[in-house]
Amino acid sequence: MATVSVRYIVTDVDVAIPFYTEHLGFALTMHPAPTFAMLDRGDLRLLLSAPSERGGGGQSMPDGTKPAPGGWNRISLQVANLERVAETLRQNGVRFRKDIVTGVGGKQVLIDDPSGNCVELFEPNQ
């Protein structure tokens, strides 16, 4: 399977890196500048960019609009034993948007990274 890349705008790349590596199982692939890092988790590549006028994914649009974190679009990471994972994250101070919910395909919970980007943790039905 090919690697799929997703870019998240974050306010501080150096704060985001340990969130994703320590809590969500990503590995740091590269961090060549304060405003950019590349992390991998299986076939998912997460590109972290901080707003910057130095070019790249964090630069402003031609009309002056600056990129900002947050919103409801999200990556969804499959986990085993969602309750255990959620409890560990709560103990580590991770911010939750809501409690675990059960849907037709399984259970999910939404958490925020340190910049307010949404991450879904999903445990499919067996």
Tell me the longest C-alpha to C-alpha distance in the chain.
49
pLDDT in tens, 85-96: 999 999 999 999
pLDDT in tens, 22-46: 999 999 999 999 999 999 999 999 9
* Integer Cα distance of 35 and 33 in angstroms: 5
Q: Which residues of 11-47 are buried (b: 16+ CB within 10 A; e: fewer)?
A: bebeebbebbeebbebeeeeeeeebbbbbeeeeebbb
Is-contact 52 31, C-beta < 8 A? no
Q: How confident is the model at residue 61 (pLDDT cuts 50, 70, 90)?
A: confident
